Amino acid sequence: MKNSTTLLTSLAMAACSLSACPAAAQSDDFGIWTEANVEKKISRNLTLEGGMELRTRDDGFGELDRWSIGVGASYKITDWLKASLGYNLLDDHNHKVNSSGKKYADYWGLRHRLNLSLTVSHAIGDLTISLRERWQYTWRPEKTVDRYWNYTDDDDDRYYGEKADEHIYRGKGSNKWRNRLQLKYKLTKQWRPFLSAESTVGGSGLDKMRYAAGTEWRITKQHVVDLYYLYQHSHKDDDSEGNRHVLGIGYTFKF
């Protein structure tokens, strides 16, 4: 465990193993996820949190996908058990085509998300293993949008632009259960590489899997940066998300 070269080799092999999920098809998307957070320690056990996130899709900076802001609190019940509660306001860029393929809508839509989590962690030397169980409820308010014609003829010529009609997307709520297993190793005082796998389960079964490999960089006690690669494999249509390769960077200021 103390041999850093052996550890990094093992982590690299594990990352390859994790990404041995279904091979990436041409339809796989690529995006950049960035976030900035603040944490305020109220007491030995209670921490308040806030943050914002920006996501892109289609060749990285090609198109904005989502922005969000959130607040939350976490309470350390014991040395190995932590409870968390959070709320996020999401604004998503949606592109939807009707079942016949003749009409499409391109619009931004708000969603409200509430989550409740329990995280169990256990340290073995410098390696920390954690399991996070999270219930997530998302509400999408009703929204009326303009739809446009989306014809494709035998020559594969498409016509966009002429308004077809208005369409109402009814308000909708959804419950998800998310399970994340993470391994994090204290390589040095500043660097903590990690691996994780997370499942999202809905009412009809498994929605998607996420596999991540990266590192936490503790610049100082107050300034922390996360750098990671993530692969998302969707098992069904989940809020228009598909298979996705992600490069992520996050910054946290603790005070």
Mean pLDDT by 10 residues, the chain (255 residues): 45 45 60 97 97 86 89 97 98 89 91 98 97 98 93 62 90 96 97 98 92 98 97 74 92 96
Q: What is the pLDDT of residue 204?
A: 85
First-to-last CA distance in the chain?
A: 32
> For residues 10 and 20, what is the distance between their CA atoms, to the nearest angstrom?
15
Residue 146 CB partners (closer than 8 Å, separation 6+): 105, 107, 163, 165, 166, 167
Q: What is the pLDDT of residue 54?
A: 97
Q: What is the pLDDT of residue 180?
A: 98
Q: What is the DSSP letter of 234?
A: E
Q: What is the pLDDT of residue 152?
A: 65
Q: What is the pLDDT of residue 57?
A: 87
Query: Closest Cα to residue 238, out of 201, 211, 191?
Result: 201
Q: What is the pLDDT of residue 157?
A: 59
Q: What is the pLDDT of residue 240?
A: 55
Q: What is the pLDDT of residue 59?
A: 56
> For residues 29 and 95, what is the distance between their CA atoms, to the nearest angstrom?
14
Query: Closest Cα to residue 247, out of 12, 67, 36, 61?
Result: 61
Backbone angles phi, psi at 99, to 5 degrees: -60, -30
